[in-house]
Amino acid sequence: MQSHEHSFDQDGERSLMFHPYNILMVLSVVSLSILFLSLTAAFTYNRIKTNLPPIQLPWIFLVNTLILIGTSFTILWAKRSYLADNTRNYQNALTVTIVLSLVFLAAQIVGWRQLFQQDIFINTSNYAGYLYVISGLHFFHVLAGLPFLGLFLFTAYKRMKDPVSVMVYFSDPEKRLKLRLLTIYWHFLDALWIYLVLFFWINYLIK
């Protein structure tokens, strides 16, 4: 079967450009960017005004960065497998993405526990408060994306049982759109996490 990446109708592609899902994704990415930029800007202002002592990030935060980068590759693997009509790889890629995301969430809890063991709590200082709030918001948005990944995986196993159902599944333009938007969302979360880790790491180095 020819790849949908080449066979997809261009008029259909343009007709989905202003689809409500596309608009919602743009609004979500813009609003989240503003939210996290505002929080990091407020943190910078508070640190300058009050001369807050820096906090070294637990090593697990750096490990989590690698895990999230891994999910970017696996979600891209899922998208490419979908476009190539490769059922098995598509299902495997979604499964690996979910597993890595769960590992990230578990490791993030470990990171907070490491802070607790250093007697660093959300009310210890403004620095700690910002660190917990910002990392917690990111944690929540990764958690919020998991049901959508799970729904894609469930649908893939439920609907892709024979050649006809596979053809119908892969030829659905709305599913293609949703997968593309989910991929964009996941890449955005990964880029956001890298920005946040670099931000707090640089703040620690600038004592």
Q: Catalogue all structural domains in the chain, each as residue range(s) with its CATH number.
A: 7-205 (1.20.120.80)
Is residue 7 pLDDT above 50, yes or no? no
Question: Which pLDDT tens digit goes with each residue over 122-159?
Answer: 988 888 899 999 999 999 999 999 999 999 999 888 87
Give the confidence band of 160 by pLDDT, cuts at 50, 70, 90: confident
Q: What is the mean pLDDT of residues 111-130?
A: 91
d(CA 75, CA 72): 5
Question: Which pLDDT tens digit goes with each residue over 40-82?
Answer: 999 988 888 887 777 888 999 999 999 999 999 999 999 999 8
Is residue 30 pLDDT above 50, yes or no? yes
Q: What is the pTM of this model?
A: 0.86
d(CA 35, CA 16): 28
Residue of 94 and 50 predicted with greater confidence:
94
Is residue 17 pLDDT above 70, yes or no? no
Is residue 180 pLDDT above 60, yes or no? yes
Is residue 174 pLDDT above 90, yes or no? no
